[in-house]
Chain A
C-alpha cells in the first residue's frame, strides 16, 4: 500500500470539493494545515464531478481545480467526469 495525496488551498471554492472527496473515498484522511488541506488515501483517490455538482448545485468543470491545487502525488487520469490519482501495485 502506498499513499496518494492531493493538497488544495483552504477556501470557499475547495470546501465542497473536499466534502465530495470525503464522500467518495471513505478511507481518505483529511489534514487541515495553515491555509491548506492535504488529503491522503491508500493507493487510489477519486474526485467525481457529479458529487461536487450535487453539493454546489451548479455545473462544475473539474479543470477548475487547477486554480486551487497545491500539490499531489501518484499517477493521474482526468476525464470530464472524474480525476483519479493512483499508484500501480
Chain B
C-alpha cells in the first residue's frame, strides 16, 4: 500500500500573510481618504501598514476553532455550577456584592468595547490591525454575553442585579466606568487603541481581571472564576495587540511620539481612577482576601509596568507622571472609596458593611502606614454609632470631578487629612477636579469634558426622577424618587448587608442544603 504523503501545510508566518494581507485589496474607483475618513485628523502618521504584524499570527479560521472550544468548556462548567446550587458554596453572602458590582460596572463596558473595536477596526486601512480588531470586537461581545449568562444565576436568588444595564446608564457611581469608556469610544481610532488596547488592556487589565478571577477562586465562586478565565484567555491576546499597537505607531514616525505620550499619560490616569472600584473590592468586599490593592499595584504596575516602560524608552516614551501620585495614594485609595460607599449606601445597588475585627487586623497588616492612624478610628466610630441605632446614611449629594466623575473624596498627595480640590474656569463656568491629572485632561480638551453627564448635576436639574414626578409637592423625597428612577427598591437592593434579605436568604438556604429539615 502506498503511503499517502501528508500535504505540506503553510507555515504560521505564511498562513498569517495569506489570511490577512492576502485578503486585502487596493480600491480603484474610490479614494482612500473617503473610505477611511478618520485616519488623519489625530495627527498620527503611518507610512507602511504592512509593518503591522500580530505576534500570535492568529488567523480567523484558527480563531473560530479555539473560541468555540473555550465556549464549550465554559458553558459546561456554568451548567454544572448552577445545577449544583454553586451559589451556596461561596464563602459568605457578602461576596455576592462583588458580582453585583461586576455585572453593573464592568460587563456593560465589555459591550461598549465590542462596539469600539468594531469601529476602530473599520477605520484602519491596514489589514493586520483590522483583523486583530475584528477578533477583539468579537471577544468583547462574547465577554459581555458570557458574564451576563453566568451572573444571571445569581440574579435568580439575590437582589440588585435585576436591571444592571438600566443601572449602568443611571446610577451615580456607575457613571465613573461608563464615562470612561464613552470617553474612549468618542476619541479617534488611534487614541481609542492607545486608551483601551494599550493603557487599559496592557498596563491595567491584570489589575481588573486577576483580582476578580482569583477573588472568585478564593471565595468558592466557580461560575465567575470560569468566565473570568475564559475571558482572560482572550485578554492575553488583547494585551499583545495593545503592545503591538504602541510599537507600530511609534516606529512609523517620530512625530507620533509626543501624541502617544500624552494619550498614555491621560489614559493611565483615567483607567487608574476607574480601578478605585477594584481596589475597594479587593480590600473590603472579598470575604476571603487574595492580595491587597497595594500589593497588586506593586506587582502588576510598578514591577511589570516598570519593565514595560523601560522597554519603550528606546522610542522616547517615559513612565506616565501620574505614577508618582498613584504611589502616594496606594495606602489610602481603597479606604477612602469604601468609606464613601458606606456613606452613600442608600443610593447604591449593593450592600455595605464595616469590616470586623479580623478584617481590620488584616487591613492594618497590609497598610501599616495608614490604616490604624487614619481609617480604623473612623470605622470604630461608625460601628459604635450604628450599634447605638445612629447608622448615618448620607443624603447630601457630593461634588463630582468633571473628568473622572468620582465624588471629591481623594486627599492631597502626601497629606491624607486634607481633601484635594482643583478648579478651572472655562467660558464663564467653573469646573471642579479631584486632582491635577484630571484637571490637566480637562484643560487639554475642555470642549469634550464640559459635556459630561454628571449624575449629581442631573439630579439637581430634575433629570433623574421618574416621568411625571413633581418635585415641588409638600414633603417631596428626592432620594426615593431617584431610587425609583434607578429601578432600585429601597430597603431591598441598598443599605447595610446585616439587615439585608440577601443575608437572611443565604443563611436559610445554606441551612437547608446542609441539614435535613
Contact = CB atoms under 8 A, between A and B. Distances in A.
B239 A71 contact: yes
Tell me which of A68, A76, A88 has the highest count of chain B C-beta atoms within 10 A of its own C-beta.
Answer: A76
A77 interface: yes
B232 A70 contact: yes
A3 interface: yes
A3 B55 contact: no
Interface in B199-221: 205-206, 209-210, 213-214, 217-218
Contacts of A23: none
B13 A69 contact: no
Interface in A1-23: 2-5, 9
Given A35-B229, A71-B236, A79-B13, A63 B62 contact: yes
B57 A78 contact: yes
B314 A73 contact: no
Contact of B304 (A67, A70, A73): A73
B72 to A, nearest CB: 10
Contact of B243 (A2, A5, A75, A79): A75
Contacts, number: 90
A67 B239 CA distance: 15
The interface residues of chain B, by DSSP majority, are classed as helix
A16 B306 CA distance: 31
Interface string B3-18: 0000000011100000
B292 to A, nearest CB: 15
Contact of A76 (B217, B240, B304, B308): B240
Given A34-B218, A78-B56, A67 B311 contact: no
Contacts of B247: 75
B66 A2 contact: no
Given A34-B214, A35-B225, A67 B11 contact: no
Contacts of A36: 214, 217, 229
B229 A9 contact: yes
B311 A75 contact: yes
Interface residues of B, number: 39
Interface in A22-46: 33-36
B239 A72 contact: yes
B55 A78 contact: yes
Given A75-B311, A79-B12, A68 B233 contact: yes
Contacts of B307: 2-4, 73-74, 87
A3 B11 contact: no
Nearest to A3: B307
Interface in B1-33: 11-13
Contacts of B55: 75-78
Nearest to B235: A71
A70 B233 contact: yes
B236 A70 contact: yes
A71 B304 CA distance: 12
Contacts of A70: 210, 213, 229, 232-233, 235-236
B162 interface: no
A77 B235 CA distance: 17
Interface string B53-91: 001111000100010011001000000000000000000
A87 B58 contact: no
A87 B311 contact: yes
B422 interface: no
B139 to A, nearest CB: 11
A34 B225 CA distance: 11
B165 interface: no
Contacts of A88: 311, 314
Interface string B365-396: 00000000000000000000000000000000
A80 B11 contact: yes
Contacts of A76: 55-56, 240, 243
B51 interface: no
A2 B310 contact: yes
A70 B239 CA distance: 11
Contacts of A77: 55
A63 B66 contact: yes
Contacts of B304: 3, 5, 73
Nearest to B15: A80
A74 B303 CA distance: 12
B170 interface: no
The 8 closest A-B pairs by CB, nearest first: A2-B307, A76-B55, A69-B236, A66-B66, A34-B217, A35-B217, A69-B233, A80-B12
25 contacts: A2-B306, A5-B304, A34-B214, A63-B66, A64-B66, A66-B58, A66-B66, A66-B233, A67-B66, A67-B69, A67-B73, A68-B233, A69-B233, A70-B229, A71-B206, A71-B232, A71-B235, A72-B239, A75-B243, A76-B55, A76-B56, A76-B240, A76-B243, A77-B55, A87-B310
Given A4-B307, A34-B217, A66-B66, 12 more contacts: A35-B217, A35-B225, A36-B214, A69-B233, A69-B236, A71-B236, A73-B304, A74-B311, A75-B247, A76-B56, A79-B13, A80-B11
